[in-house]
Structure 1
Amino acid sequence: MTNLIVHNINSTFVIDSRLIAEELGILHKNFKELIKTYKVDFEEFGQVALETEAGDIRYAETFYYLNENQSYLSLTYSNNTPKVRRAKINLVKAFDQAKSVLKLPQNYIEALECLVASEKEKKALSLVAADAQAKLVDLTPKAEMYDVIADSSKFLKIAEVAKILSIPNMGQNNLFNFLKSEEILQKNKVPYQRYVNLGHFTVVEKYNKYNGEVILVTLVTQKGLSFIKRRLEKAGFFSSKLIA
């Protein structure tokens, strides 16, 4: 099972060097040293800049965002073992999957069709939102918070999940730590790809217009809310909310 996740940052598909190192089964610090040693080679395919993990700068980990060509190049410096060959295959699949999601129009007709489809989708979403709002109006003031959220189609932040579950001493930070200890979230608070594929989470990019930084934000689906509750109960934590 691969944990490779490709991100679209400023219209460029990139992947976290920590994930490639994990795929290869090597220490990330050794992988960073390899990139640094052959930086001139990597920069033939674009800029290679050291990134810093969001959070306290004193403890934040540094890493690289490698584009598709740079990612493939990094594997050419590794011995052609079965693990490396599998990593190459998984990289190709990860980038292909990211590209398939972003199907750009190839000509004017396709662009026009996309525009029409987009307008239809916005109209449909508007009708769904109106219907959801009508349902919320009918709810009594004593309705459970989860019931209100379940009638809408929005995703939830980890802090909202913690508030909904109402488990003693399980606020946002402790819930993040729990999900990381269960190997559901990675160190950068992004879910492993298998949990995204199962429909428990989605990851969105938040752009800071003041410093140009792109932050990855993990959101929980309604299916993911029930999944997290079950994992907490299995670990001995119980919610006071009646959530299926």
Structure 2
Amino acid sequence: MTTLASSSPTPSPQIELSDLVTGPENELFIDSRIVAAKLEVNHSDWMQNVVKKYQTQIEQEFGVLRFQNGAVLSYKGVANNTQVFVYLTEDQALFLLTLSRNSQAVVQCKANLVKTFAQARRDLEGRNKPQETIKLPEDLLESLKLLVVIETERKALAAANEQLQAATAELQAVNAELAPKAEAADILLEAGSNLTFQEAAQVMGIPGIGRNNLFKALVELKLIINTKHPYQRFVEQGIFVVREEQTNFGVFQQILITQKGLQYIIPLLKEHGKKSSKINDKVADSFRLTPKAS
């Protein structure tokens, strides 16, 4: 591409990038002499019969035509006397080409014109694209200041990371401590309140401990006197309740184990070697809410 000038162009079979010229604001033009040469028509006739004829319409739709004085070439490349020519924008040139019959030369000229203008625009965009630059410190002092800032930020990030790790470890420890208690609470909620010895034995899940053996174990541990009478202090502590029911044969008494009783009895049995197969040691230990029986 060249800048706007009045020098005569040299015809060639196709429209090349070198056939285009750029204006002061990087706008693109093509010389009417080149267009006439590609169309294989006389430039003077084409200017008079086409360009001048449709000048008003062209300028209304596509902007002012830029007329110049210079040598005019015939399609055979023979220079004629100096005459008027015009620099055409892409839109102006394409409009003028639509007014010509679609001969092979016209079709080829249209295709070349579109391709060449498109390539020229891409080249200009690439040429005008701002280049990214890396800003380097102007002197050693600036470099040292930058290093201080980086080191300060690194230490701050390291300290924040240590705090995060400490908080995570603390949360994990709390979770490890609370998890057995949560599981124990779930067991109690599922078990309900005031259980028979048969129901309590099923909740405890201790191998070899059913209803009768649970009675025996609690007698040995001095929590109950017999199948009808617990020690009074454990009733007062809420470990047991005694349910009485009037029957035809007299008053029927039954010892029931409360939820608090489960919390007391499960870890107590574990301490005496009777471990649950359903409740792990940590969960069993978390049941204890009252002091051991004396």
TM bin, normalised by shorter chain, reads 0.3 to 0.5
Specify which structure has the bigger relative contact order, considering alpha-carbon pairs within 8 angstroms and separated by 6 or more residues. Answer: 1
Larger Rg computed on CA atoms = 2
TM-score (norm 1): 0.37
